Chains A and B, each alone.
Chain A
Amino acid sequence: MLDFLKRIFADSSSRKQANDRLRVVLTHDRAGTSSRLMETLKEEILEVISRHVEIEGRPEVKIIREGRHSALDINIPLKGR
C-alpha cells in the first residue's frame, strides 16, 4: 500500500530535479569540495577507522547544510563484540 502511494506521488518533475542538483552543487561550491573529493575522503576516513576498530554495515560520509553553513557528517556503524 505504501509503495503504491509512493509510486502515485513520486515527484519526477523538472523542478525536483533542479532542486536536487542545486543542493549538491551549492554544497560543494560553498565548501570548495567535489563529489570526487568526498569519495577520497570517505575511503581515507574508513581506512583510518578500520585500522583500529571493526566496521559493520554501511558507513556514510557526506556534507550536510544548515542555512548557509556546511558540516561534514560522518556515520560509521561499528561491529559489537
Chain B
Amino acid sequence: MGKKTEGSSVIVVTSGKGGVGKTTTVANVASALARKGYKIAVMDLDIGLKKLDLILGLENRVIYDIIQVIEGECTLKQALVKDKRFPELYMLPAAQTRNKDDIKPEQVQEICRQLRPEFDFIFIDCPAGIEQGFRNAIAAADKAIVVTNPEVSAVRDADRIIGMLESAQFQDIQLVINRLQASMVRSGDMLSIDDLMEHLCISLLGIVPEDKKVLISTNKGEPIVLNEHSEAGLAFNNIANRLLGQQVDFPSFEEDSLWGKIRNLGRNLFSKQ
C-alpha cells in the first residue's frame, strides 16, 4: 500500500538524559500513526544499546541491521522489519555489536533520502548523550521532539539538548513531558507543566501521565496505544493526532480542592522572593 501524504517528515526523538521514555515515545506514537493508516518507518540509532525492537516486540524478527545496510551487506528493504500488527509500520534495527562511531551523519541522511518517497513519517530513536550518536540522529531530521520528565536532572539535560538543536538550526522543536504525576504536582512535590514550560520555553506536544500499564505492555512487547483503558496510551494517541495537525486539548491538572486554590492564590500573592 502507498503512503497517505505527498511529503514526508523525518522526526528525531531525543532527550539528553537516558531513561526518560524516548523509545517508548517513538514506539507508541509511530504505532498510533500506523494504526491510522500512515506509512511509518522507525529507525533505531542507539547502536550498541538497542531497545526499540524489544519495546515494539519485534526482537525475534530482526535479520539485518543498519550497519549492514551501510556496509552493503544487504539492501535497505531487506533490513526493514515489518510489524504484523500494523501493516504500515516498518523498523530499521540498530546493530548491537557495534558502536556509535561506526556510523556517520551523511550515511543516516542517505538512508532517510531513500526512505522519504516511501513513508509519511520517519522516526529516529536517538541515543542518550550529546556525542556522535546524537549528531548522527539529528543529521537528517526536519524536526525534533524532546522528551523529558518532571525532574531536575532530566530538565537540565533537555535544556542542553534544546540549545544544541537550536545551534543546529532546528526551527521545529517540541516538548513531550513523560511520567507526570498530577497528585504530586498538587501536593507541591513535582514540577508542573507550567514550571517546565517556563524553564524550557518551547512548544508543548504532549503530556504523558505516569501509568503502570506502560511497564506491563513493555513486558509483553505490545504498544500501550493498543490499550484503550490506558491514560498513557491515550496521551500518545493525542501526540500522534497533534503531529497530524489536529487541535487536541491538553488535560487540565489544575488544583480542584478549595483549600488548594486558596493556598495557590496565597503563595502567588505573598511568597514572591
**Contact partners of A23 in chain B: CB under 8 A:** 199
Query: Looking across the interface, which residue of chain A has its beta carbon closest to that of B273?
Result: A20
A6-14, A39-47, A48-56, A73-81: which lies at the B interface? A6-14
Partner of A18, one of B191, B201, B263: B191
Q: State the CA gap A15–B180 with chains docked (Å).
A: 13
Tell whether, in the assembled complex, residue B159 and residue A26 are in contact, meaning their CB atoms are under 8 Å apart.
yes
**Contact partners of B199 in chain A: CB under 8 A:** 19, 22-23, 26
**Contact partners of B185 in chain A: CB under 8 A:** 15
Q: Indicate whether B190 reaches chain A with its CB closer than 8 angstroms.
A: yes
B38-46, B227-235, B264-272: which lies at the A interface? B264-272
Bits for A12-32, please: 1 = Cβ < 8 Å to B, else 0: 011110110111011001100
Interface size on A, residues (CB 8 A): 22
Query: Looking across the interface, which residue of chain A has its beta carbon closest to that of B166?
Result: A68
**Contact partners of B187 in chain A: CB under 8 A:** 13
Tell whether, in the assembled complex, residue A9 and residue B269 are in contact, meaning their CB atoms are under 8 Å apart.
yes
Q: Indicate whether A67 reaches chain B with its CB closer than 8 angstroms.
A: yes
Partner of B195, one of A8, A10, A15: A15
Q: State the CA gap A19–B160 with chains docked (Å).
A: 17
**Contact partners of B163 in chain A: CB under 8 A:** 29-30, 68
Interface centre among A2, A11, A25 (most CB of B within 10 A): A11
User: Closest CB of chain A to B160's CB: distance in Å?
Assistant: 6
Residues 182-216 of B contacting A (Cβ, < 8 Å): 185, 187-192, 195, 198-199, 201
Tell whether, in the assembled complex, residue B271 and residue A11 are in contact, meaning their CB atoms are under 8 Å apart.
yes
Partner of B156, one of A6, A13, A29, A67: A29
Say yes or no: A13-B270 contact (C-beta < 8 A), given A21-B152, A29-B159, A68-B201: no
Bits for A55-81, please: 1 = Cβ < 8 Å to B, else 0: 000000000000110000000000000
Q: Indicate whether B176 reaches chain A with its CB closer than 8 angstroms.
A: no
Say yes or no: A26-B271 contact (C-beta < 8 A), given A9-B266, A13-B189, A18-B191: no
User: Closest CB of chain B to A60's CB: distance in Å?
Assistant: 13
**Contact partners of A9 in chain B: CB under 8 A:** 263, 266-267, 269-271
Q: Indicate whether B27 reaches chain A with its CB closer than 8 angstroms.
A: no
Query: Looking across the interface, which residue of chain B has its beta carbon closest to that of A13?
Result: B188
Tell whether, in the assembled complex, residue A5 and residue B270 are in contact, meaning their CB atoms are under 8 Å apart.
yes
Tell whether, in the assembled complex, residue B192 and residue A15 are in contact, meaning their CB atoms are under 8 Å apart.
yes
Query: Looking across the interface, which residue of chain A has its beta carbon closest to that of B191?
Result: A18
**Contact partners of A21 in chain B: CB under 8 A:** 152
Q: Indicate whether B56 reaches chain A with its CB closer than 8 angstroms.
A: no
**Contact partners of A68 in chain B: CB under 8 A:** 162-163, 166, 201
Query: Looking across the interface, which residue of chain B has its beta carbon closest to that of A12?
Result: B188
Tell whether, in the assembled complex, residue B190 and residue A15 are in contact, meaning their CB atoms are under 8 Å apart.
yes
Query: Looking across the interface, which residue of chain B has its beta carbon closest to that of A5?
Result: B270
Additional A-B contact list (9), CB under 8 Å, known A22-B191, A25-B152: A2-B270, A9-B269, A11-B271, A13-B188, A15-B191, A18-B191, A22-B199, A23-B199, A68-B166
Closest 7 CB pairs of A and B: A13-B188, A9-B266, A9-B270, A11-B271, A6-B270, A11-B267, A15-B188
Binding site for B on A (CB under 8 A): 2, 5-6, 8-11, 13-16, 18-19, 21-23, 25-26, 29-30, 67-68
